[in-house]
Amino acid sequence: MSDSTATRTSFGVRLRESMREHGPLCVGIDPHPPLLRAWGLSEDAAGVAKFADACVRAFAGRVALVKPQVAFFETYGSAGILVLEETIAALRSAGTLVLADAKRGDIGSTMDAYAHAWLGAGPLGTDAVTVSPYLGFGSLAPALELARANDRGVFVLAATSNPEAVELQNITGADGRTIAQRMVDDAAAANAGAEFGSVGVVVGATLDSAPDLSRLNGPILMPGVGAQGGGADSIRALVPAADLAAVLPNVSREVLQAGPTVSALRDKVAELAAEFAFLQD
C-alpha cells in the first residue's frame, strides 16, 4: 500500500465497501478432521491444502470477508502453516479481505510479536485478526497501534457464546457495566472519529442478550449462525435496527458441510447471502 495518505483506506471502510458489494457474510475456512473426512480428504497437510483450495475458489471475490481458523492449520505444523500462508496470499491477491481467526492475547513484546505476525508484511499478514482482551483491553495496544499504522483491523472478543464465558463476561463492575460491555465501550473509544471504525467486536448470535452496541461505530462479527442455532431472528433480537448494517454473520460449518464441490459451496453462500440481505437494507 502506498505511503501517501491520499491513497490509504482504513480496514473499516474497506470492509464496509466489501459488505455493500458482496453482502454481509463472513465465511470461515475450518478444515477440522470430520469435515476433511466428509470431503474424502486425508487428515494431513495435503488434505488441508485441497480443502483450502476449494474454499478459495468458492469464496474469493464473492463474500465480504473470509476467516481461516488458524488452529486447524497449525495442527499440521510447518506444512499446515505453509498451506495457511498460501491460502491467505491467494485470497488477498483476489482482492478478498481476510480475517485470521487466531484469538491472540498477551502482553508487551509478545503481543507486539503477534501483531506483527498477523498485521504486518510477513507471509501470515492478513487484513485483520481476532484478539482476546481478557488480560485487560490495554494489553491489546500493540495490535491496535499496528493495525492503525498499517490500515488493518482487529476483532475483539467481547461477548462470546460459549457457556463457559458467560459467568466471566457478565460480571458487573462498580460502574454498573458488565465486563463484556466494557470491552465494547473500549472498542468504541478506539473507533472514535473514524468514518467507520477498524476495531470490531465478536458477539455470539446465540446469546440471550448482548451489550449495547450503539456507540461502537465498527463491525460486529456474530458467530453461532446456522448449525449452531443462530439466525436472522436471533440477530434482530440482539442488535438494534440502526446497527444491523454493521453485522457480519459468521457462517462456517453451515457452508462447509455443503462441500466438497466449489459449485455446492457457492450455492450455499448464495442461499445464506439472500437470508441475511436484510442487514444491508
Higher pLDDT: 38 or 227? It is 38
101 in a structural domain: yes
Taking only the tens place, the pLDDT of each residue in 152-163 is: 999 999 999 888
202 in a structural domain: yes
Q: What is the pTM of this model?
A: 0.94
> What are the two backbone dihedrals, phi and then psi, of residue 232, each rounded to the nearest 5 degrees?
-60, -40
DSSP-derived 3-state class of residue 210: coil
pLDDT at 227 over 80: no
Taking only the tens place, the pLDDT of each residue in 89-112 is: 999 999 999 999 999 999 999 999
Taking only the tens place, the pLDDT of each residue in 70-91 is: 999 999 999 999 999 999 999 9
CA distances from 77 to 43, 44, 80 (A): 13, 10, 5
CATH code: domain of residue 170:
3.20.20.70
Cβ neighbours, 10 Å, residue 66: 27
- The fraction of the chain above a pLDDT of 90, given in percent, is 87
281 in a structural domain: no
pLDDT at 18 over 80: yes
Taking only the tens place, the pLDDT of each residue in 188-214 is: 999 999 999 999 999 999 998 899 999
222: containing domain: 5-276
Instruction: Find the mean pLDDT for residues 17-32.
Output: 97
Please state, in angstroms and rounded to a whole number, the distance separating the CA atoms of residues 132 and 81: 21
pLDDT at 224 over 80: yes
pLDDT at 185 over 50: yes
In the chain, how many domains are there? Answer: 1
Q: What is the pLDDT of residue 7?
A: 55
Q: What is the pLDDT of residue 165?
A: 85
Q: What is the pLDDT of residue 280?
A: 85
Q: Which of 50, 67, 103, 268 is catalytic?
A: 103
pLDDT at 257 over 80: yes
Q: Helices in 60-175 by DSSP H: which ranges? A: 71-74, 77-93, 108-119, 141-150, 163-169
236 in a structural domain: yes
140 in a structural domain: yes
Active site residue 103: yes
The label of the residue with cell 456507540 reads 215
40 in a structural domain: yes
33 in a structural domain: yes
64 in a structural domain: yes
Residue environment code for 29-46, b if the CB has 16+ CB neighbours within 10 A, otherwise e? bbbbeebbeebebeeebe
Total residue length of the chain: 281
Please state, in angstroms and rounded to a whole number, the distance separating the CA atoms of residues 218 and 145: 16
| Residues whose CB falls within 8 Å of the CB of residue 62, separated by 6 or more in sequence, listed in order | 22, 266, 269
